[in-house]
Structure 1
Amino acid sequence: MIFRNSFNKTISIHSLVAGKSPKETAIFSGLASIPQIAFVLPLDTIKNCQQINNTTFKDQFYWLAQKGSRRFFQGFYASFLTVILSRSVGFGCQHLYYSMLKNKISHHQNTVGSSALAGATKSVICLPLDNIKNTIQTMGVPNTRSYQNPTSTISILHELYKSQGLKGFYRGLPNSMQKSALGYSIWIPFRNWAEKTVPVPDKEMSQTIRHFVIGATAGIVTRWVIWPIDKIKTQRQTTNILQGKSTISAFKSIVKKEGFKLYRGIWTQCAGSVLSGAIFNMSWFLFQKNNQLSKD
């Protein structure tokens, strides 16, 4: 994945977004993710509730608002840890796998393969935190599981382990791996193709806008493709609705019950993805600039 910078030097997009090594990739991706959490968390909470409740954005917003403004930020600490770990592991592993497979397979195969492997790895490592985050965010929504202290990360950890052992932390693991592997293998190659195809403007500001639009478009395309799997994952993590059903059976059940309404919440997710990408990119450039200045 390459493009031309202002000095007309061909560089890897992964180096721009993620540093010069897998370790730098993980560190800088994690740091650049921090500022986005406070802004994107309310949209993420609404989206997760919509995936269970099958409600409109307006109805879900009012339902949460009636419980107070703090309800939109319920699960902040779990979300904080999830986002940082997810970005660090995802970008770091993709960079690592790509380096390991370099010169062994074609560039296109490497990009898709390393992205899918990174997505699956991220799911295995981050799913326990993701389970807790989604559980706290959707607490009180009809059909969700109940807990003694639903807003405490430590309490939910204890209850999950006490009732289900380690399995409790990995509810929805197959769907999480499917979602992340498919999502990464779509988003990164799509962005790769767009970076090579869309002309690079001369002005630096226009170049920044170009990268933002490409990233946002790739995010929206990816979200539409993986949405059904994401919805199944969320329901498995927080309810007993799909218990005992395979992914295909779960998908058929949701389609039969909801039809095209299964996509309710998709634009909430897309808005969150666009906002998340914008804040992440701006944060990354600031961290990268400050890091370069400190080296100089």
Structure 2
Amino acid sequence: MTEAPKPLPFFYQFASGAIAGVSEILVMYPLDVVKTRQQLDSTNAYKGTINCLKKIVKEEGFSRLYKGISAPILMEAPKRATKFAANDEWGKVYRNLFGVQTMSQSLAVLTGATAGATESFVVVPFELVKIKLQDKTSKFNGMGEVVKHIVKTDGLLGLYKGLESTLWRHIFWNAGYFGCIHQVRTLMPQPKNSSEKTLVDLTCGTIGGTFGTVLNTPFDVVKSRIQAGSSRYIWSFPSLLIVAREEGFGALYRGFIPKVLRLGPGGGILLVVFTTCMDFFRTLQD
């Protein structure tokens, strides 16, 4: 197994996560728009990812693929920074708590799940605004209008609508992502140079992102519907049953293709950029 890298102060973890998150969102955002549209589509208006993409461009224009990106851009820095920083910090807590020096598979899953729960409290307002803007029926022109409407209608706590479903979504994704990265790393040969290290990180991150997406997509579907404003969907597990009963089990994986295309390779991009930034900060400290 590769020797654990030198730990860095929280600020460097936060900055590396922020840079990684913004890099990923700039490349992958259109797939997120397509994913949300498919998740909110209970009438099967979109016949797959390509059909959805073509319809959006044809009926609403290419720029619609980037509608609402201001909220994710503002969200990505604190979201991804919190993800990686919380994962590192919770890892230290759990290693001390259980009296172990190195991370194990079970600790990686536990640490990832806890980091996901931590991350959720940061991202809920941004996710809510993003969903409101990405919805095809949206009449809002920008995030300012959305925030103003939510606060006026539901008060400040209205910005945390969907917190419970967001918690489940992030707990499952982060547990799968970081747990899988740990396992895959142990199976791969130790890299001999920076190019091999980048390839290992890209492979681990892509596999981890794909596995996390398989685990959390049903929770992402109900989260999108809860935050879109339907009164039929309130809590995650009852909403899962409603969707499965009325639309079939496959509906819980609606939007899976664009989601996994984004978060599989996107997970690889995240890990590569994050570890590259951390290595750079280590050289500065040295």
Determine if the TM-score, normalized by the shorter chain, exceeds 0.5.
Answer: yes
Residue 273 of structure 1: how far off its partner (Å): 1.3
CA distance change for structure 1 residues 104 and 262 in 2, over 3 Å: closer, same or farther? closer
CA distance change for structure 1 residues 101 and 293 in 2, over 3 Å: closer, same or farther? closer
CA distance change for structure 1 residues 98 and 286 in 2, over 3 Å: closer, same or farther? closer
Distance 2:11 2:23 in 1: 20
Matched, 1:231 2:221: yes
Residue 116 of structure 1: aligned partner:
113
Query: Within 5 A, what are the aligned runs for 1:46-61?
Result: 46-53=34-41, 54=44, 55=46, 56-61=48-53
For the residue of structure 1 that corresponds to 2:97, the secondary structure is coil
Deviations 1:154-192 (A, max 9, x none): 111010010011332111111100111122122112211
8 Å Cα contact 2:35-2:259 kept in structure 1: yes
Name the Cα RMSD after superposition.
Answer: 2.3
Distance 1:99 1:182 in 2: 21
CA distance change for structure 1 residues 282 and 110 in 2, over 3 Å: closer, same or farther? closer
Q: Percent same amino acid at aligned positions?
A: 19
CA distance change for structure 1 residues 160 and 30 in 2, over 3 Å: closer, same or farther? same
Matched, 1:43 2:40: no
Amino acid aligned to 2:12: E
What's the TM-score, normalizing by structure 1? 0.84
For the residue of structure 1 that corresponds to 2:233, the secondary structure is coil
CA distance change for structure 1 residues 248 and 290 in 2, over 3 Å: closer, same or farther? closer
Q: 1:134 aligns with which of 128, 131, 135?
A: 131
Amino acid aligned to 2:112: S
Matched, 1:247 2:236: yes
8 Å Cα contact 1:22-1:93 kept in structure 2: no
Deviations 1:44-90 (A, max 9, x none): 11001111115321221122102111100011111101111110111
Residue 198 of structure 1: aligned partner:
188
8 Å Cα contact 1:40-1:275 kept in structure 2: no
Distance 1:110 1:22 in 2: 20
Q: 1:21 aligns with which of 1, 9, 12?
A: 9
Residue 116 of structure 1: how far off its partner (Å): 1.7
Query: Within 5 A, what are the aligned runs for 1:81-160?
Result: 81-105=74-98, 107-108=103-104, 109-140=106-137, 146-147=138-139, 150-160=140-150
Amino acid aligned to 2:151: Y
For the residue of structure 1 that corresponds to 2:96, the secondary structure is coil
Residue 293 of structure 1: how far off its partner (Å): 5.8
Distance 2:117 2:187 in 1: 28
Matched, 1:180 2:177: no
Deviations 1:213-241 (A, max 9, x none): 22111111111111101110011011305
For the residue of structure 1 that corresponds to 2:220, the secondary structure is helix
Distance 1:95 1:137 in 2: 32
Matched, 1:257 2:246: yes
Residue 117 of structure 1: how far off its partner (Å): 1.9
Amino acid aligned to 1:220: T
Deviates more, 1:33-42 or 1:174-183: 33-42
Residue 248 of structure 1: how far off its partner (Å): 2.3
Residue 7 of structure 1: aligned partner:
none
Distance 2:93 2:283 in 1: 31
Distance 1:201 1:113 in 2: 27
Residue 211 of structure 1: aligned partner:
201
Distance 1:286 1:40 in 2: 19
Residue 256 of structure 1: how far off its partner (Å): 1.9
Distance 1:31 1:125 in 2: 17
Amino acid aligned to 2:232: L
Matched, 1:274 2:264: yes
8 Å Cα contact 1:97-1:114 kept in structure 2: yes
Deviates more, 1:103-112 or 1:51-60: 103-112
8 Å Cα contact 1:235-1:241 kept in structure 2: no
8 Å Cα contact 2:201-2:268 kept in structure 1: no
